[in-house]
Structure 1
Amino acid sequence: MKFLDHLEEWFIAFLMGAATLVIFVAVVHRYLSGLAIPGLQDWLITLNTSWAQELTIYMFVWMAKFGAAYGVRTGIHVGVDVLINRLNTPWRNKFVIFGLLAGATFTGIVGTLGASFVWELSHTSSTSEVLELPMWMVYSAVPLGSYLMCFRFLQVTWAFIKTGDLPKHDHSHVEGLEEEIHGAKA
């Protein structure tokens, strides 16, 4: 279960690294193709990197869906709680639980509608324009990201019911740094 605790970070980090590499290769290819170097220029022009833009767009869509789940888990997801925080504790807690369960319900519905759409799409021959990927693979980001976000809402709700605490993102905290500092002192 420890792996699930950081699923979003690993997946987003992988996609960011891969997207950076793909864009870097495409830019270098484009630049070098413009140089009048006999043989090299001819060879580079035969290589097609038009797929790079489409692939990175799809990667960013996946990053956005999984990033939203990360935001719920860590407490950095957008929320308007100015009025709720002014309520007395029992009422505040009820509204917080209602809001979290509403988020879980909404993302569960979006996940289910997305899964239905992906299922229907998987029975067609629809493919992406350049990469010619089956479109159901591209749109799978919607149900997978939404279900993960629903799961994270339920996790936060359960933790709030047990402890009364919501995840708070500390911008000054760097995870793993304490262990490194303590290891250096030892």
Structure 2
Amino acid sequence: MNFLNKIISRAEELLCGLALSFATTFAFIEVILRRGFGSSLGFTQEAVNYLLIFVGLIGASIGVREKVHLGVDLLVKQFSPNLQKGMILFMYSLNILFCLVVAILGYQHVGVLAQFGNVSPEMEIPMYIPKGIVAIAFTLMTFRYLQELIKAIKTPTEELLAEQEGGAH
């Protein structure tokens, strides 16, 4: 599992970095062409939009992995440590369920788009390619939340609560 985790982590980081680099490069080239030469490549705005959505969604998976998502735990802290751990496990379970549902719906949507043969307006690529990122990203987030749930189950209560506080990472 550790080997798979490393491969997925590296792929997430590499793909986000590449997508952000391409988006920045395309936007820069488009500005130069429009301001300097009064012309346009035509596809860059659409490409930048898709690339930034890609970065945001895959970045959300990285955020789950790095535990940088916002959480409101003021209410949770009012309970006993064991109940707090139970609530944390419950929230991870809800996150898994939500991400799994969105991933499944995303894959179904991609299947429908593939059947109809829709293409994007400017780049004229099949729409299931850019829309498929939702399914992929939420699958990755499901995997990451599942990892966190398993880790939380195995971690002693006091240590888990210290991690949730930001004391250990």
TM-score per shorter chain, which class? 0.7 to 0.9
User: Deviation digits for residues 48-81 of structure 1, max 9, x if unmatched?
Assistant: 4121010000011111111111111111112221
Q: Distance in 1 between matches of 2:164 and 2:52?
A: 25
**What SS does the corresponding residue of 1:12 show, helix, strand or coil?**
helix
Aligned with 1:22 (options 12, 26, 34): 26
Structure showing greater Rg: 1
CA distance in 1, matches of 2:51, 2:165: 28
Q: 2 CA distance for matches of 1:132 and 1:169?
A: 46
Check 1:142–1:103 CA distance in 2 against 1; reply closer, same or farther (3 A cut).
Answer: same
For 1:49, the aligned partner's letter is: L
| Structure 2 partner of 1:107 | 99
The two structures have a TM-score, normalised by structure 1, of: 0.79
- Is 1:139 matched with 2:131? yes
Aligned residue identity for 2:53: V
Q: Is residue 114–residue 143 contact of structure 1 (8 Å, CA) maintained in 2?
A: yes
Number of positions where the alignment pairs a residue of Structure 1 with one of Structure 2: 159
- Equivalent residues in 2 for 1:89-108, closer than 5 Å: 89-108=81-100
| Greater helix share, structure number | 2
Verify the 8 A CA contact 1:112 1:143 in the aligned structure 2: yes
Matched, 1:32 2:36: yes
Cα separation, partners in 2 of 1:169 and 1:29, compared to 1, 3 Å: farther
Distance 1:168 1:8 in 2: 26
Equivalent position of 1:116 in the other structure: 108
The gaps in structure 2 that reach 5 residues or longer are none
- Name which of 133, 148, 164 aligns with 2:140: 148
The one-letter code of the counterpart of 2:116 is T
The CA RMSD measured in Å over matched residues stands at 2.0
- The residue identity in structure 1 corresponding to 2:26 is V
Please say if 1:50 is aligned against 2:42: yes
Shift of 1:4: 1.8
**So what's the TM-score if we normalise by structure 2?**
0.86
**From 7, 11, 29, the counterpart of 1:7:** 11
Note closer, same or farther for the CA distance 1:149–1:168 as it changes in structure 2 (3 Å cut). Answer: farther
Instruction: State the Cα distance separating 1:167 from its structure 2 match.
Output: 6.9
Residue 57 of structure 2 aligns with which residue? 65
Structure 1: gaps of 5 or more residues: 35-44, 171-186
